[in-house]
């Protein structure tokens, strides 16, 4: 299915699973900015919404409840993704509200959340840069998971390099970074393509760049 169908199924599944305040927050809090983030940033990277939770409820440091725009949760990782609009309500925010927002973010960090914030303008005007940030943040954890695989040392190092860069990579970049011959790099890249860890991004007979494959984007 395409984005529209998957997005509606994703939203409906969370709506049906919620009641009370959690349901109300999803109905009222999930708006244009959040939908645009999913469409322009998240979907082109992953083509699915697995492990992602909209308007996710967390305990407040004042014994209340707060809601995150999105939470990406799986064993060993908790990422808060916030999309901040810029409007009259933000310009007129009180000093107390400003301090409260900072305290909220500090508390998430203390509770071992990774917090990533984007402005609505960034999501709208520069989605590719937002994609790179998301890929790098999630990739930091995925890179650690590579140690649990049977990949060779060189294969792991190449994948970590691609993850850190957050965009397509060329064989020449791999050669310079790992100080390897072009023959060795071509062999390692070919093996990673066979294992679906990398996929060709440009070029046909002669591949000029590579990007992460689904096996790395969504490891079992």
Mean pLDDT value across the chain = 84
| pLDDT value of residue 217 | 57
Which residues have a Cβ under 8 Å from the Cβ of 165 and sit 6 or more positions away? 173
| pLDDT value of residue 144 | 59
How far is it, in rounded angstroms, from Cα 99 to Cα 110? Answer: 16
- Mean pLDDT in runs of 10 for the chain (220 residues)? 91 94 91 94 88 90 82 84 71 67 81 91 94 82 64 86 80 90 93 90 85 64
- Note whether 115 and 109 are within 8 A (CB): yes
Q: What is the pLDDT of residues 43-69, one digit of tens each?
A: 988 888 988 999 999 987 666 788 999
| 51 dihedral zone (left: phi>0; alpha: psi -120 to 50; beta) | left
The count of residues in the chain is: 220
Q: What is the pLDDT of residues 99-132, one digit of tens each?
A: 777 778 888 888 889 999 999 999 999 999 999 8
pTM listed for this prediction:
0.66
């Amino acid at each position: 299915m395409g984005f529209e169908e998957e997005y509606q199924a994703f939203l409906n599944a969370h709506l049906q699973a919620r009641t009370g305040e959690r349901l109300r927050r999803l109905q009222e809090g999930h708006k244009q900015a959040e939908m645009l983030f999913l469409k322009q940033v998240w979907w082109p990277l992953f083509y699915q919404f697995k492990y992602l939770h909209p308007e996710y409820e967390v305990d407040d440091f004042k014994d209340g409840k707060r809601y995150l725009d999105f939470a990406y949760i799986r064993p060993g990782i908790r990422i808060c993704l916030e999309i901040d609009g810029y409007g009259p309500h933000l310009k007129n925010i009180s000093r107390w509200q400003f301090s409260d927002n900072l305290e909220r973010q500090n508390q998430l960090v203390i509770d071992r959340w990774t917090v990533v914030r984007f402005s609505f303008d960034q999501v709208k005007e520069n989605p590719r840069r937002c994609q790179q940030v998301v890929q790098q943040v999630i990739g930091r954890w995925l890179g650690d998971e590579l140690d649990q695989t049977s990949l060779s040392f060189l294969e792991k190092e190449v994948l970590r390099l691609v993850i850190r860069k957050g965009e397509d990579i060329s064989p020449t970049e791999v050669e310079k970074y790992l100080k390897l011959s072009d023959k060795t790099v071509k062999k390692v890249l070919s093996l990673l393509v066979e294992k679906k860890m990398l996929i060709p991004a440009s070029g046909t007979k002669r591949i000029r760049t590579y990007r992460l494959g689904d096996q790395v984007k969504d490891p079992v």
